[in-house]
Amino acid sequence: MKNKSIKMRKQIDTSSRYFLLLCGTISVITVLLITIFIVQQGIPTFQTVSIKEFLFSTDWSPSKSVPHYGVASFVIASFEVTLLSVIFAIPIALSCAIYLSEFATGNFAKILRSGIELLAGIPSIIYGLFGIAVVVPFVRNTFGGNGFSLLSAAIILAIMILPTIINFSEVTIRSVPRETKNASIALGATQWQTIKNVIIPSSISGIVSSIILALGRAIGETTAVVLVGGNAPIFASSPIDMGRTLTMNIITDMSYASGVHMSALFATAMLLFFFILLLNLIVVLVTRKGAIHE
């Protein structure tokens, strides 16, 4: 009876291992198929449009008699919106993560965590509507313009990426050994000095990883950004101007594009896909470097 039980456990373990392997393999194959599909659809663009024009021209005019497909303005707008959103989000997110990990207790901590989880689960269309109702008028009244701008998009994205930075940073800060904190306090450091000089440096790799993940989340966002960013295929000379990001461009033109225009949109998706892969690679390298130092 005992031998039978052991044999059954081994069979379950083996089956579970192969099932998990199958799931992982399916995930990898799915990513490969998506990559192949995007590249296959996007490469034909460069039979008509030079890579130099595509990457460095700011003229996107597919409807003209002589069409042009330059995405430089969209790339710049994407990075501008993304970087601004992260700059806005980092102080709030890190302060919240430190408070939750070091100070928050009781019911208030539970309420705060529930609010952050709720913030992460709100659909992006709701953020976009909130932006139209609140953020756009605020930007218009404070900075001028019509309010639909890259700055409005950055503010909305900053709100959207808060949960990503908060959750990952809190977990990282909590992972700092209690003995390390106690040793700092025992040497005469205040709680704030311990946080600034011991806890944050010890968890910096996790914090940086959370910020990079937030960058990936922000650069790939579409719906909320379309609603408040102005969606104008022009070069934005300042954050209060209307503009168009890479994701805006894809979702705006995809419904009516054909031929080279459609291929150019897939080439835009290739570029966006490359940026996301690059950010994920940086996360892996930062995490690995942090693990080595530890």
Residues 194 and 215 in one domain: yes
Q: What pLDDT does residue 3 have?
A: 65
> Last residue of a domain, which of 32, 47, 62?
47
Q: What's the pLDDT score for residue 81?
A: 92
Q: Residue 201's domain is classified under what CATH number?
A: 1.10.3720.10
Q: What is the pLDDT, as a whole number, of residue 150?
A: 92
Residues 201 and 68 occupy one common structural domain: yes
Q: Are residues 39 and 57 in the same domain?
A: no
Position 1 scores a pLDDT of 56
Q: What is the pLDDT of residue 157?
A: 93
Amino acid at 145: G
State pLDDT tens for residues 118-167.
888 888 899 999 999 999 999 999 988 888 999 999 999 999 999 999 99
> What would the pLDDT profile of 233-270 be if each residue is shown by its tens digit?
888 888 899 988 998 989 888 888 888 999 999 999 99
In terms of domains, do 151 and 226 share one?
Answer: yes
DSSP state for residue 44 in the 8-state scheme: G
Residues 118 and 82 reside in one and the same domain: yes
Q: What is the pLDDT of residue 67?
A: 85
In the predicted model, residues of the chain with pLDDT beneath 50 are none
Instruction: Report pLDDT for 136.
Output: 93
pLDDT at 153: 93
Q: Are 63 and 161 in the same domain?
A: yes
Whether residue 16 is found in the same domain as residue 154: no
Count structural domains, the chain: 2
- Centre a 10 Å sphere on the Cβ of residue 195 and count the other Cβ atoms it contains: 19
Query: Treating both helix axes as pointing N-terminal to C-terminal, what angle do 204-219 and 72-102 enclose, rounded to 10 degrees?
Result: 140
3-state secondary structure of 66: coil
For residue 287, the model assigns a pLDDT of 67
- Write down the pLDDT at residue 212: 86
Least Cα distance to 70 among 275, 267, 272 occurs for 267
- Domain that residue 122 falls in: 53-293
Instruction: Say yes or no: 43 and 76 in one domain.
Output: no
Residues 78 and 183 in one domain: yes
**Considering only CA atoms, which of 229, 208, 39, 6 is closest in space to residue 132?**
229
**Geometric angle at alpha carbon 15, from 10 and 17, rounded to 5°:** 95
Residue 119 CA to residue 122 CA, distance in Å, equals 6
- SS3 of residue 190 by DSSP: coil
Residue 109 is encoded by which pair of tokens?
Answer: 């901590």
Helix (H, G, I), strand (E, B) or coil at 127: helix
Provide the sign of the torsion angle of the four alpha carbons 124, 130, 132, 137, taken in this order: negative
| Nearest residue to 156 (alpha-carbon basis) of 225, 87, 223, 78 | 225
- Give 70's DSSP letter: -
Instruction: Please check whether residues 100 and 240 belong to one and the same domain.
Output: yes
CA distance 151 to 143: 10
Q: Are residues 210 and 76 in the same domain?
A: yes
Residues 66 and 8 in one domain: no
Which string of DSSP letters, residue by residue, matches 210-268? HHHHHHHHHHT--HHHHHHSB--SS--SSTTS-B--HHHHHHHHTTT--THHHHHHHHH
